[in-house]
Amino acid sequence: MSCVCGADSLEIPEDILLSIRKAKRVSVLTGAGISAESGVPTFRGAGGIWEKYDFRKLATPEGFRDDPKLAWEWYRLRQIEIQKAKPNPAHETIADMERHFEHFAVLTQNIDGLHKRAGSRNIVELHGNIWRMRCTRDGTTIDLDSPVGDIPPFCHCGSILRPDVVWFGEPLSNEAMDAASKAASESEVMFVVGTSAVVYPAAALPILTKNSGGLVIEINLEETDLSSYADLSILGPAGEVLPVLWRKTAFPERFMTEHPIIANR
């Protein structure tokens, strides 16, 4: 089922709201679209990163091997951009949701760290993090708190450092994949927010939820390959849709805490 959202005019079927209220295990799979309203560009579609930049040079191990300086220039530019960005109401709503479910996981393809900055705690970063570098010799990681200085950066062992992210053709870490697959297959409800759902294995996670009997709710500006599998596909900006959807879920216990006087009458 698909519905077009005009934020407050958003109509969510009551049985879906009921399933969300009853759920104990919930996960959210996010992609670049969730950070678009924070000013971080998406990869695909009009104005997307891959329209302007060649992914072969910037997001493959071969590209990095051929020209590490070029790849690092690009990652530094993105670090500068991401450093300026702030979490938006979609990230904040997801952080709030975590407080209301017994088991909750954010499975993100994003490397921008905005979920953590919004207050989410149980986060699986499927494609790594732009604020971490990794030694190309022994895999030692180094955290960054500001954009990288000298380019390319070197490890104290003399080897070149790379961004600790997952490029095309590289496997996702076993730890991240195991945690994400477990959360997805155990989820009674999975929200899929702002991803084109074309990059695997992340795009298969909602299918795991569906195949285990869970409900999949998609939030995206446009229909994707996942839309026909989803139980509900809401078309609209995540920063507007998620807060309204969450308000409509209206957990009675949340209402009691936020409005104790009215609730106790």
Q: Report in angstroms how near the CB of residue 102 gets to ligand BJW at its nearest.
A: 27
Q: 63 to 92, contacts with ligand BJW by CB under 6 A? A: none
**103-108/123-125 β-pairing:** parallel
Q: Which is nearer to ligand BJW, 25 or 244 (CB)?
A: 244
Other CB atoms within 10 A of residue 261 CB: 6
Of 133, 238, 244, 245, which lies in the binding site for ligand BJW, with binding defined by CB under 6 A? 238
Distance of CA 53 to the CA centre of its chain: 22
Q: Report in angstroms how near the CB of residue 257 gets to ligand BJW at its nearest.
A: 29
Q: State the number of binding residues for ligand BJW (CB under 6 A).
A: 35
Beta strands in 41-193 (DSSP E): 103-108, 123-125, 128-135, 141-143, 161-165, 189-193
Question: Is 127 designated active site?
Answer: yes
**Angle at Cα 67 formed by Cα 71 and Cα 69, nearest 5°?**
55
Residue reference for tokens 């760290």? 113
N-term to C-term CA, the chain: 38
Residue in 115, 127, 156, 259 annotated catalytic: 127
Does 109 engage in binding with ligand BJW (CB under 6 A)? yes
Question: What one-character-per-residue DSSP string does 85-102 give?
Answer: ----HHHHHHHHHHTTSS
Does 237 engage in binding with ligand BJW (CB under 6 A)? yes
Binding mask 205-224 for ligand BJW (x = CB under 6 A): --------------xxxx-x
Distance separating alpha carbons of residues 5 and 264, to the nearest angstrom: 33
Does 51 engage in binding with ligand BJW (CB under 6 A)? no
Q: Report in angstroms how near the CB of residue 48 gets to ligand BJW at its nearest.
A: 5
Residue 156, classed as helix, strand or coil, is coil
Q: How many residues does the chain have?
A: 265
Does 168 engage in binding with ligand BJW (CB under 6 A)? yes
Binding mask 6-35 for ligand BJW (x = CB under 6 A): -------------------------xxx--
Q: Which residues are catalytic?
A: 127
Which residues lie near ligand BJW (CB under 6 A)?
31-33, 36-37, 42-45, 48, 59, 109, 111, 127, 165-171, 194-196, 198-201, 219-222, 224, 237-238
